[in-house]
Structure 1
């Protein structure tokens, strides 16, 4: 790997603003953005569509064997199909959390993410980027926020995309809490803050405030 490689790992729970902030940081710093959460959601979507149960490990491995995930112009493609919008529902969120605990799923996506980080300067966000995928990232950030604040953000996002029909704020809040528990208690690579990560609580911060803070840290590290 080139000594000049610069990689930013941004971890944190769902709804903390990782994807939105990572995209802006990547654009400002001229780095490639990799949304690993979207990759797990895409896998969750496909396995759900295929009718595969998380307990059916043979079925999961079979589907993974012919699954292709790519990023193109800010979109995530599942076997060539744009699923950028369809992966952002509470149902797919639950599926992603369930399937992400399976070792073969984490290995497939983790290996793909490492390859991306070794070939490009990246901003990569997820649950275990700084603790597992890019342990030697030049900058690690842990974004967090109050669970209700995160639920309100996710609910507004669903409303703006017209996907909130039949969904209530309480449902989204319960989904956030359940996913937090699953992500922090799973046996393999649980969500946690890396020892050398900078923690930023976004509960009462604007997106520009958070992105400015991360860009400043990145510019300092680059020097």
Structure 2
């Protein structure tokens, strides 16, 4: 059987990464967390002092040639961690500090162009599961399987809130909900590669769906398409 490309798009905190990792493991495919890439660039911008209420886009654009991103396998977790200029930043990029700025950074044309090029190179040989905001519309418009994941803002905020508390962050549910809604607004209205469902994508609302039910359904979609490949 041949390999396919699986593109998973959707709103923040819909569990895209979770289902993508499960699929990649089950199929023996490469998993690429594009959100981690944008978060790493955002972490760099924050570290360099390029963010305040707004992002200093010209300064960040000038520094893009200095930004090197790499996924490195973690033997302890069995997954890959994001490395920024040779340093493991997996923990740092998952904070609310980064979440507050990442949609603004991701809206910068030059940032998207750089990362999209990297993502397309990573998936050129197929056998990849990639999740993000524009995978099925921009990065891999010809992907054999496209999924668009959604859930209510309240459900997503509750998931994110629980995750952040588990990491020891001091946040309130109201703050997280506000951030989720603001990210939705920015992601959906930006001029470059806005978040939208590809015409041929399968929409999956998992507001009331268990993880196992969700996985079984998506895995079934993938297997049927893989079996059709020569």
TM bucket normalised to smaller: over 0.9
Where does residue 133 of structure 1 map in the other structure? 139
Alignment map for 1:90-109 (pairs within 5 Å):
90-109=96-115
How far the C-alpha of 1:52 sits from its partner, in A, is: 1.5
Q: 2 CA distance for matches of 1:151 and 1:61?
A: 31
- Runs of 5+ unmatched residues, structure 1: none
Q: 2 CA distance for matches of 1:120 and 1:49?
A: 34
1:178 is aligned, of 182, 193, 202, to 182
The answer to which of 47-56 and 115-124 deviates more is 47-56
Partner of 1:118: helix, strand, or coil?
coil
Q: 2 CA distance for matches of 1:83 and 1:120?
A: 27
Alignment map for 1:39-50 (pairs within 5 Å):
39-50=37-48
Deviation sequence 1:155-185 (CA, Å, 0-9, x none): 111111112x1x1001000000000000000
Q: 2 CA distance for matches of 1:55 and 1:215?
A: 39
Aligned residues: 219
Partner of 1:123: helix, strand, or coil?
strand
Q: 2 CA distance for matches of 1:21 and 1:182?
A: 24
Where does residue 111 of structure 1 map in the other structure? 117
Question: Relative to 1, partners in 2 of residues 1:38 and 1:55: Cα closer, same or farther, differing over 3 Å?
Answer: closer
Q: 1 CA distance for matches of 2:57 and 2:213?
A: 43
Q: 2 CA distance for matches of 1:203 and 1:58?
A: 39
Partner of 2:219: helix, strand, or coil?
helix
- Runs of 5+ unmatched residues, structure 2: 74-79
Q: Could you tell me whether the CA contact under 8 Å between 2:7 and 2:136 is conserved in 1?
A: yes
The answer as to 2:122 corresponding to 1:153 is no
The answer to which of 100-109 and 114-123 deviates more is 114-123
The answer as to 2:225 corresponding to 1:221 is yes
The answer to which of 148-157 and 81-90 deviates more is 81-90
Partner of 1:211: helix, strand, or coil?
helix
Deviation sequence 1:170-211 (CA, Å, 0-9, x none): 100000000000000001110000000000111111111111
Q: 2 CA distance for matches of 1:4 and 1:127?
A: 26
CA-based RMSD of the aligned residues comes to 1.4
Partner of 2:130: helix, strand, or coil?
strand
Q: 2 CA distance for matches of 1:155 and 1:56?
A: 28
1:202 is aligned, of 187, 190, 206, to 206
Q: 1 CA distance for matches of 2:174 and 2:184?
A: 15
Partner of 2:175: helix, strand, or coil?
helix
The answer to which of 75-84 and 172-181 deviates more is 75-84
The answer to which of 170-179 and 204-213 deviates more is 204-213
Where does residue 33 of structure 1 map in the other structure? 31
How far the C-alpha of 1:120 sits from its partner, in A, is: 4.5
2:172 is aligned, of 168, 173, 178, to 168
